[in-house]
Chain A
Amino acid sequence: MKFALAIYAAPFSVQASQTALHFAQTLLEQGHEVIRVFFYQDGVHTGNQLATPPQDEQDITQAWRALARAHQLDVVVCIATALKRGILNEEEAQRYQQPASNLAPEFTLSGLGQWVEAVVHADRVVTFGA
């Protein structure tokens, strides 16, 4: 089956991002297709590759990056909610003359239209809320 996943929760404040990660891993192990993962609201912090958690804590961003690379996942971060939280790729950093960018290369910045398109094409939509 085709799944689209939406994650609204920040990576280190509540459990939802971990739940979504385990759910996505299990989907892929069982042969289902994850057509898009969409990070929205505080979930966009998951794309920050400069986040440096202590070594004895799970690094959620690295785990999502590894999963995205292993399965060629389409991982989208909502551009409007990301920019105001300081999550920028190089192109947006240049556009707004910011001194640095921090979006991990496995993530892309895009709009809600990408989420709507995923919902239209998916057999199942699962939301992981904060």
Chain B
Amino acid sequence: MEHIQTVFSFSSLLTIIIGTIAGVAVGGMPGLTATMAVGLLVPFTYTMDPTLGLMLLGGIYCGAMYGGSIPAILLNTPGTPAAVATAIEGYPMAKSGRGALALKVSVIASFVGGTFSVLILLLFAPVLAQQALKFGPAETFLLAIMGLAGIISIADENSSLIKAIIAGLIGMIIAVIGTDDMSGSLRYTMGVIELIDGVDFMPALIGLFSMIQMLELAGQKTHKIDTSVLNQTSKKEKLPKGISKYIALGSGTGTVIGVLPGEGATIAAFISYNFSKRISKVKELFGKGNPEGIAAAESGNNGCVGGSLVPTITLGIPGNSVAAALMGAFIIHGMIPGPELFNEYADRTYPFIISMFVANGVFLIVGLTLAPYLARVALVPPAIMVPVVATFAVLGSYALNNAVFDVYVMIVFALGGLIIKRIGFSLEALILGLILGPIAEGGFSQGMIIGHGSPWIFFESTIAKIMWVIIFILLVPPLYSYLKTFVFNKEKNA
């Protein structure tokens, strides 16, 4: 009870509000990430009251995860990789004047996913963490495969499935560049020191989405703004019926995946998106602006927030890079993750967890209030939008590792990406391969070592068996329906 009072004091509330709004801004800016903001602010909280400092960072984390969806929907420039799936559905909606609705769905889904996961964190953290430990390298490999199965859901209907898979493979191959973790030797780095750690996915993401979008805008023959879009936007559109099913699905998936190690949010968003497509009654609307996809993806990635903190604060094993940066803030204040956090430091840990409920509420209010205004971003003339976003693309690519090299990486991805996009390769599949490739490789290689060279390890545990069933469900029906249409078309042509 006293913990709740701590949260609802004036200074706490102010800190949470500042943190959350800053988080939304950070997530919304192409090139600024939650990891970067939390990492850079950890030293700043050193001089703050520990509880307030943690609340600030928690607010940033919650806000940024939601914020990534705003530019994804409005400009097709996902601010975080976890928002790529949101862009697939959100941008077509914004183009057809339903941007405000897309934003509304996204903020509500984010709120529900975030709140649910924090509730789980509050109630079940120690129990869940013990379960998460059963998840070894072999299971991590399967999780990456589950995420990669998303490539198939990106592809079916319009674009060529084979080309989507090829794009995914290209991404995975680019991810091979760098140090081979197994032997320590360098692969395909061509003597470039910046490539020792491989190609960072953030400059790639900025190049493939933000920059290509700007190149496309710059290359448009005419710069006419469709004002009818705005008129439609101002009409209040109600939330689609049955959307809650997808939000619940995403929240659950996101929280579970968040607890597991790896780049949880991206995998969670894509797996939730993939699930939603499988159970949807209007599959054919996916990729053309279906709010169901946004609901699943956004509740999925925000579900990771609470989930990722479960192993972080109970075991000191951060679920993703943001959680790892947050863990630094705990340690600075002498709060070493472990059981002590829940007894000796309970007066800091519990207010921190409870503050994230408030943070979710803050971005819900902010998001709902701003949605109609944000939708007007579509009215900014491209001639202004392009240089501004391009500037942030350069700055964001640089600031990630303080390396100009990453700016060039971003430009190369923009140019190369545009060429292969024009001939029908899916850039979403490419970025998915780039992000999940290293996780798949690490899990595979480590699994092979632990299994003493036998691939049986990938089928051994109960968790692994369940995961294979899920992979089967995700892969086989769409593959079957794809083959069916393919064969059917051929007969028709013949």
A binds B: no
* Chain B contacts to A: CB under 8 angstroms: none
* Chain A contacts to B: CB under 8 angstroms: none
